[in-house]
Chain A
């Protein structure tokens, strides 16, 4: 049985759908990225998986435990780590006290190793922590009992770039050790760096679940051409051209069709400059969101 199986999951809050018939499966030993803008339903899905909220309809299993079955879920949680988006540690106690409490309940065989890698000032009270330090304390508590599955909600928010890179490396190493990692993010580049597969969530619905590589290949090429007015107009009208942007003396677009067709078309006009490259993941993402204003926010969050 896959570590996470979600089937037709719907959660309704007072007439508003938080998530709407969401289905996906996270396979053993993969890093699964759950991507979408704020408010798309990522946290709602995660809360269902942890039994914080009950689904309105549909179901989900985590390490084989049905989320409706509290006893089974409690049993499964011994092998689950969780890093929430907001880390509500007790402010008045030290990091050591927090970790002692966590260790007493779920174990902490990797605590020292993790504290060498991520270095929150554990002797100081949590109220003195920066957001990065809180995040590191969160990472330590999520992994310290060496869980088989770790669920993370926006795990790198608050981390400086150096620590982010260390964390990404750590995630890859964990995956190689056979752990299953599920994390939500609205930062595309992060997801691209560490994930094997991505589920894209939009307005509470899963728009697509794909391999990162497939998503990139499917995305076609980004073409940037400097040419005449007539050339620009003709290129913009070509089939398989999307995401057209005009700029002075030129045009930029994503081309998903046959390369020969594009080259034939280009040869008809006076081309001063041409650049054909891999499209940024942001643009692929925009494709799924189309005119959605949220998409720009997501795409730009990474720039």
Chain B
């Protein structure tokens, strides 16, 4: 039990370290840049931006560190960047192994397909947890270092609530991975779907006639700006995401079980 999880997790360590370092550096740069911008009056500039743009980029207030971070880091990197990354990484899980014929060897092991997929998928927890824990810590320390304060509870919630969102993105990747005939198609489809859902929420979602459309996007259920700036959140949103994740992963398992390799 868990041999595959151990092996796959170890393979992810190097990539995780590089990605976590890069994102932490970017977050650190953002915090520093906020302190460098002090005294510049750009609030007016922001208020003149079209409502759609503001909503799309999660811009509410750029003059507080919370508003600045949620716009520059959470809305860009977490909602879009990491969402796409986990969709892509999960899209590669099964499809890459089938394409390289490594799956032949894996299926000769005395473990079930369900266990194989579950353990392989679970290895994505390595980058998922590392990037949240390390970057969260870096942000908290650096905000203090520039003489600002950020509510630690809000920062923690912003990170913890991103987990179910990113799991849904990864589960979309898993479904694409077990469905597609070729690995490149699986990865592109997963990234395409997550990006399309992001756009649906940020662009179409603001139009009242199509208001219902926003509810199908996972981005609707993770609002870092509201958490960080207003400290407002509810537990229903992450629950909706968790249920969606479980359903998608079960669908992925069902399809993988029946698939000819």
Contacts and interface: CB of A to CB of B under 8 A. Distances in A.
B112 A71 contact: yes
Interface in A75-104: 75-78, 80-82, 84, 86-90, 92-93, 101-102, 104
Contacts of A86: 101, 104
B110 interface: yes
B3 A101 contact: yes
Contact of B261 (A53, A76, A82, A93): A53
B110 A75 contact: yes
B233 to A, nearest CB: 40
B109 A51 contact: no
Contact of A74 (B101, B102, B111): B111
Contacts of B112: 70-71, 74
B182 interface: no
A93 B11 contact: yes
Contacts of B102: 88-90
B108 interface: yes
Contacts of A50: 104, 107-108
B109 A52 contact: no
Contact of A88 (B104, B110, B257, B258): B104
Chain B interface category by residue count: 20 to 34
**Which of B7, B101, B108, B111 has the most chain A CB atoms inside 10 A of its CB?**
B108
A51 B97 CA distance: 16
A70 B115 CA distance: 12
Contacts of B103: 52, 88
Contacts of A74: 110-112
A75 B104 CA distance: 17
Contacts of B257: 70
A78 B108 contact: no
A54 interface: yes
A47 B104 CA distance: 8
Contacts of B110: 74-78, 105-106
Interface in B83-140: 97, 100-105, 107-113
Residue with the highest number of chain B CB atoms closer than 10 Å, among A50, A84, A93, A141: A84
B108 A80 contact: yes
Contacts of A104: 3, 6-7
A102 B108 CA distance: 10
Given A50-B108, A82-B108, A88 B3 contact: no
Contacts of B261: 47, 52-53
B61 interface: no
Contacts of A54: 258, 260
B260 A82 contact: no
A70 B114 CA distance: 10
A70 B113 contact: yes
Contact of B97 (A47, A76, A88): A88
B100 A88 contact: yes
B16 interface: no
B63 interface: no
B105 A105 contact: no
B4 interface: yes
Contacts of B108: 50, 77, 80-82, 84
Contacts of B260: 47, 52-54
A72 to B, nearest CB: 11
A51 B111 contact: no
Given A70-B113, A71-B112, A101-B3, A51 B107 contact: yes
Contacts of A75: 110
Given A84-B104, A88-B100, A89-B102, A105 B111 contact: yes
Contacts of B6: 104
A71 B112 CA distance: 7
A50 B105 CA distance: 10
Nearest to A93: B11
Nearest to B99: A88
Nearest to A13: B260
A84 B100 CA distance: 12
A82 B104 contact: yes
Contacts of A70: 112-113, 257
Contacts of A101: 3-4, 7
Interface string B232-261: 000000000000000000000000011011
A88 B105 contact: yes
A53 B11 CA distance: 28
A251 B11 CA distance: 64
B104 A52 contact: yes
A86 B110 CA distance: 20
Among A90, A92, A101, the most chain B Cβ lie within 10 Å of the Cβ of A101
18 contacts: A50-B104, A51-B107, A52-B103, A52-B107, A53-B260, A70-B113, A74-B110, A82-B105, A84-B104, A86-B101, A87-B105, A88-B105, A89-B105, A101-B7, A105-B3, A105-B4, A106-B109, A141-B105
The 5 A-B pairs of least Cβ separation, nearest first, read: A88-B102, A82-B108, A88-B101, A53-B260, A88-B100
Given A70-B257, A75-B110, A89-B105, 6 more contacts: A50-B104, A52-B103, A70-B112, A77-B110, A78-B110, A84-B105
Interface of B: 3-4, 6-7, 11, 97, 100-105, 107-113, 257-258, 260-261
